[in-house]
């Protein structure tokens, strides 16, 4: 079972690394990090690069596709090489999955038309505009397409997926190995529970980022 | 504020990437991945490499030290270059931190003598044998030393640390951006809640790994 984790410039590292830790512990799963070209790919903070071991062309038909999110997604919404790869890979995949704004790339490839899907809480309206039925849930399964909410939700998504791929014991063993028994010191991980002022500040920053991106495209 | 994340062959990626996502969002924090030599460092699965942007020697005095865990820790318990770097860096650090079995390397450097500390649930006895007072908590703060339990606990540790470094608003903003509102599909992240058979299987696998490592050293 070949799992392709798709990297691109300015992706968010945890979107990819969270699910990788779970899925690489599923017996028989062979996880490969892929990108337009093999080699180091910089993340959104520019403080870290992850190495893609293969080019997209070298792995055209993985069994599981996983595409992370990150600000770099904005520049790829019309990137034909990536979107074509996603369409072709999805045509034969068993599971097509995303974390955070990775679902916007699946939507841009036309793979979420009419499907229930999710993304980072800041981008749910954007996902809806791109043809999906956007729902505010942590992990959304619609047929073979599994989408996760923002960044850290990829861990929950991968545990859900691991159970589908190999059973609940395998998923729970991965969870126990990763000691994923979360105890955040604050209850601020969702706009429903975070202080209103922090939610408003992030909404404004996101609005400005999207507006700047629209200006660049125009 | 310079944050050094120390990589080594066969570290566990999420141990490093979880905290990095939080700490790189603290205003003024400059996160650098360091290793014995700059360049790609392979993780414990051999399916992924992260790039260290600097050699340890280039960053002898970070304000914050973060050392991840992973099976590669076993081979470094007597590695003088690394242990010397840790001792020297700790002499001037504001915070010295670890995730998972990274605390065993801090202990090997003599930095946890008489301190309360934690590690992966499978290695608590081992930590005690190396001079620390091992406690089964998710995040342990003892003076300037902050240690986290296994792998994913690094995210909780970094949120605790971010609040110390820059205040609760900054920590909560990072949590909200990362949408860290965990909802694992199973309650198996701790030996207290996971099915007994899975806990026993991992204890046996760990015992064999440590025994093999003792044979190698002998």
Question: Are B159 and B214 within one domain?
Answer: no
* pLDDT score recorded for residue B209: 84
Does residue B174 carry a pLDDT above 90?
A: yes
Contacts of A149 in chain B (CB under 8 A): 179, 181
* pLDDT score recorded for residue A214: 74
Question: Are A206 and A134 within one domain?
Answer: no
Question: Are A144 and A218 within one domain?
Answer: no
Q: Tell me B5's DSSP state.
A: E
* pLDDT score recorded for residue A133: 98
| Average pLDDT value over all residues in chain A | 96
Into how many domains does chain A fold? Answer: 2
Chain A closest CA to B164's CA: distance in Å? Answer: 12
The answer to whether the CB atoms of A180 and B151 lie below 8 A apart is yes
Could you list the residue range(s) of the whole structural domain that residue B198 is in? 184-218
Instruction: Give the separation between CA A85 and CA A92, rounded to whole angstroms.
Output: 11
Residue in chain B nearest A48 by alpha carbon:
B51
Mean pLDDT over B188-201 rounds to: 97
Mean pLDDT over B130-158 rounds to: 98
The answer to whether the CB atoms of A31 and B45 lie below 8 A apart is yes
Task: Convert the pLDDT of each residue in A150-202 to its tens digit.
Answer: 999 999 999 999 999 999 999 999 999 999 999 999 999 999 999 999 999 99
Q: Is B100 a catalytic residue?
A: yes
Q: Give the rounded percent of residues in chain A with a pLDDT score beyond 90.
A: 95
Question: Are B63 and B169 within one domain?
Answer: yes
Check CB contact of B155 with chain A, cutoff 8 Å: yes
Question: Are B21 and B125 within one domain?
Answer: yes
> Above 0.95 for ipTM, yes or no?
yes
| Average pLDDT value over all residues in chain B | 96
Mean pLDDT over A77-100 rounds to: 98
Question: Are B176 and B190 within one domain?
Answer: no
Are the CB atoms for A53 and A33 separated by under 8 Å?
yes
Does residue A218 carry a pLDDT above 70?
A: no
Question: Are B170 and B191 within one domain?
Answer: no
Q: What is the CATH number of the domain that holds A99?
A: 3.40.50.880
Question: Are B65 and B135 within one domain?
Answer: yes
* pLDDT score recorded for residue B215: 75
Question: Are B89 and B69 within one domain?
Answer: yes
The H-or-E segment that residue A40 falls in is strand A39-42
Active-site choice (B36, B65, B100, B151): B100
Q: Give the pLDDT band (50/70/90) at residue A22.
A: very high
Contacts with B44 (C-beta within 8 Å, 6 or more apart), sequence order: B10, B11, B12, B13, B70, B71, B72
Range scoring the smallest mean pLDDT among A158-167, B100-109, B186-195, B206-215 = B206-215
- Cα B165 to its chain centre, rounded Å, is 18
Question: Are A14 and A33 within one domain?
Answer: yes
Question: Are B149 and B217 within one domain?
Answer: no
> Dihedrals φ, ψ of A75, to 5°?
-80, -5
Q: Give the pLDDT band (50/70/90) at residue A26.
A: very high
Residue of B24, B160, B179 with shortest CB distance to A120: B179
* Tokens encoding B155: 């995210």
Question: Are A190 and A84 within one domain?
Answer: no
Does residue A113 carry a pLDDT above 90?
A: yes
Does residue A145 carry a pLDDT above 80?
A: yes
Contacts of B171 in chain A (CB under 8 A): 185-186, 188
Does residue A215 carry a pLDDT above 80?
A: no
Are the CB atoms for A77 and A105 separated by under 8 Å?
yes
């Amino acid at each position: 079972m070949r799992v392709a984790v798709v990297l691109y410039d300015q992706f968010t590292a945890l979107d990819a690394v969270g699910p990788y830790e779970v899925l690489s512990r599923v017996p028989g799963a062979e996880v490969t990090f892929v990108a337009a070209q093999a080699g180091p790919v910089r993340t959104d903070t520019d403080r870290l690069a992850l190495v893609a071991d293969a080019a997209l062309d070298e792995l055209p038909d993985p069994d599981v596709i996983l595409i992370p999110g990150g600000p770099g997604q904005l520049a790829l919404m019309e990137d034909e090489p990536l979107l074509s790869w996603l369409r072709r890979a999805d045509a034969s995949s068993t599971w097509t999955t995303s974390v955070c704004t990775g679902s916007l790339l699946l939507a841009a490839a036309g793979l979420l038309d009419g499907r229930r899907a999710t993304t980072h809480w800041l981008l749910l309206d954007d996902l809806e505009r791109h043809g999906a039925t956007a729902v505010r849930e942590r992990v959304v399964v619609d047929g073979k397409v599994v989408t996760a909410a923002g960044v850290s939700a990829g861990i929950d998504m991968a545990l859900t997926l691991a159970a589908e791929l190999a059973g609940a014991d395998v998923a729970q063993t991965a969870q126990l190995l990763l000691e994923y028994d979360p105890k955040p010191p604050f209850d601020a991980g969702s706009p429903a529970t975070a202080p209103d002022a922090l939610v408003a500040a992030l909404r404004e920053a996101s609005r400005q980022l999207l507006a700047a991106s629209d200006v660049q495209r125009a």
